[in-house]
Homo-oligomer: A and B are copies of this chain.
Amino acid sequence: MPAAILAGDALLALAEEILLDLGTAGSARAARCLASTTRRLIAGQALDLGFESRQDVTLEECTVMSLDKTSALFACACTLGAVLCEAPTRLALALAGFGSDLGLAFQLVDDLLGIWGRTEVTGKPVLSDLRSRKKSLPVTAALNAGTPASRRLAALYAQPDPLSEAQLVEAAALVEEAGGRAWAETTADKRIASAQAQLATAEIPAAVREEFMAVARFVTARDC
């Protein structure tokens, strides 16, 4: 564990070094983009950590957390090359917008898999996010829907004892009944459409566009 944390920190420092080695104006801007992205990721992760001890997380707070924790990383990954080689600002922004929307879609799909994903796909036990009572996006949407199912789900999440297998299955059904699953699926689709629309405005070669599209398909086609 200490070695893993050190390795992660070393990779971050190395990434900054490599970007700055070029010594160009784009190199410094790319390094700044990576540093501010890292800070946002950490802000998102810190928010997520804080959610663990709270029962009143709103859907807006949860979305802001996902935008910081996941979308910012995708946006940076998609635009960093353009920033580094000093591409026009319009192109860099279009790629960042594509990445940001794709990142939120990824998080929504990831959260759906955290409840309904098959173990052989996710590598995690079934219902794993419910087991740890994670306040993921579909769960938060369900908790805030104001339905009878929302209240029953909130009671399960507030229970001091670990949830039994039957309660886990019930909790998943309640997320669905309160509309959390449908909301997450619809929102993911909207974000993918928005990502594609932004990619369409980017003036890039067809082959490059196809590579970005392949990433979008990979992110959203993970088997539930």
Contact = CB atoms under 8 A, between A and B. Distances in A.
The 8 closest A-B pairs by CB, nearest first: A16-B35, A20-B32, A13-B38, A28-B28, A13-B39, A10-B42, A17-B35, A13-B35
A45 interface: yes
A21 interface: yes
Given A9-B38, A20-B35, 7 more contacts: A2-B49, A6-B46, A9-B12, A12-B13, A13-B39, A21-B32, A31-B35
Contacts of A9: 9, 12, 38, 42
Nearest to A37: B13
Contacts of A10: 38-39, 42-43, 46
Contacts of A21: 32
A14 interface: yes
Contacts of A31: 16, 20, 28, 31, 35
- Range of interface residues on A (Cβ < 8 Å): 20 to 34
A107 interface: no
A3 interface: yes
Contacts of A46: 3, 6-7, 10
Contact of A6 (B12, B17, B20, B45): B45
A119 interface: no
Most buried by B among A13, A39, A43: A13
A85 B35 CA distance: 21
29 contacts: A2-B49, A3-B46, A3-B49, A5-B5, A6-B42, A6-B46, A7-B46, A9-B38, A9-B42, A10-B38, A10-B46, A12-B12, A12-B13, A13-B36, A13-B38, A13-B39, A13-B42, A14-B35, A14-B39, A16-B16, A16-B31, A16-B32, A16-B35, A17-B36, A17-B39, A20-B28, A20-B31, A20-B35, A31-B35
A27 interface: yes
A6 B20 CA distance: 24
A43 B3 CA distance: 10
A123 interface: no
